[in-house]
Chains A and B, each alone.
Chain A
Amino acid sequence: MSESNSMIKVINEELGIDLLGVLVFNNNDIVLANDVPGELMRLAAFLVNFINKVNGIKYVKVKSNNVLMYAVRSGDLVVVFLANPTLIEGALSLLDRYVDKLVKMSWEIINRAKAIEPAITVEGDELTEEDILILLDYFKGKLRELEAKGE
């Protein structure tokens, strides 16, 4: 998040605009995002979901009463800029120059996440119904122990 917050600051200072947010999605997963309200995040997620379903879309601009969303696809990633709706739409193309940097930052995060995968991959023999019953008995037994102790 700190990376994204810093990027917003840099973009706003360099372009003299007041960007509300930057989000980067990998498919429908958010990889990078600054502190934007959940409602805006969900709106962006809807837009990205649409972009991912339609082949060949490179840029999308959507304007509502409270936000102007500008999305740029770059390979598997989609960068979404959230701006005040009063922003002149022509200024959006200036944001393109930041896409490569955001994409690079996002891949670094994705790769860091992949690096923890071995730590969270647990493998074992397939569980049977008997195993589930053993677990149930065990935890019910623990409950009875607590009840017996009056806890």
Chain B
Amino acid sequence: MVKVFKLVIAGPYGAGKTTFVKTLSEVVPIETDVPAPGKSTTVAFDYGKIRVNDIVVHLFGIPGQERFNFLWRIIARGMHAYIFMVDSSSLESVKSAIFMYNYFTSTFPTTPHIVAANKQDIAKVKISDVRTILGVKPDVKVVPLIAINKKMVLEALVVLLDEVHRMMYGSSLQQGNSHGTGNEKALM
């Protein structure tokens, strides 16, 4: 049987989850967005896929609105890790992520995750403030992100996988690793 890695992209409305899945997926992502005032919003989930040898990475983008939170648990079931995205171009948007972040960290306390501060090209909220507002624990990494930038998306993914490795096998691969992403300095 093929091996699977289930990765969930969580975060509030407008954080950029659909874009992240689009940027990373090797197949045409399945989107379930519908128009919302000023933009579109995900009503069921986004889905993308990457195949690496005999491992398939499944990407699931979760609808951001709190009223869909009954779907969060269903979609997240069986995930190996998640990236929690926020829109750092808006303080209000980062604050709106508190409920969802608390939900994920309390419902899936042992699942490896990182926080991605998206829209760094137009950021108004510092990464350190994202950490403070969400109450991110010191051992959880907060990374800068521009979801349309494939390099930054890959860097975030590498940081997450390193976190998965650290949590599952007790060691981080990035320190002293010649294949580091170069992104480590930006981590807060």
Contact check, B6 vs A129: say whether CB atoms are below 8 A apart: no
> What chain B residues lie within 8 Å of A45 (beta carbons)?
99
Contact check, B165 vs A32: say whether CB atoms are below 8 A apart: no
- With A122-B4, A122-B78, A124-B1: A143-B55 Cβ-Cβ less than 8 Å: no
Contact check, B52 vs A135: say whether CB atoms are below 8 A apart: yes
Contact check, B3 vs A30: say whether CB atoms are below 8 A apart: no
- Interface flag for A91 (CB, 8 Å): no
Number of residues of chain B lying within 8 A (CB) of chain A: 46
Contact check, A124 vs B168: say whether CB atoms are below 8 A apart: no
> What chain A residues lie within 8 Å of B140 (beta carbons)?
none
- Interface flag for B157 (CB, 8 Å): yes
Provide the bound-state CA to CA distance between A41 and B67, in Å.
9
- Picked from A121, A136, A142, the residue with its CB within 8 Å of the CB of B78 is A121
- Picked from B3, B99, B169, the residue with its CB within 8 Å of the CB of A124 is B3
Provide the bound-state CA to CA distance between A137 and B80, in Å.
18
CB-contacts of B106-154 with A (<8 A): 150-151, 154
7 interchain pairs, CB-CB under 8 A: A30-B69, A113-B71, A121-B77, A125-B1, A125-B3, A135-B57, A151-B150
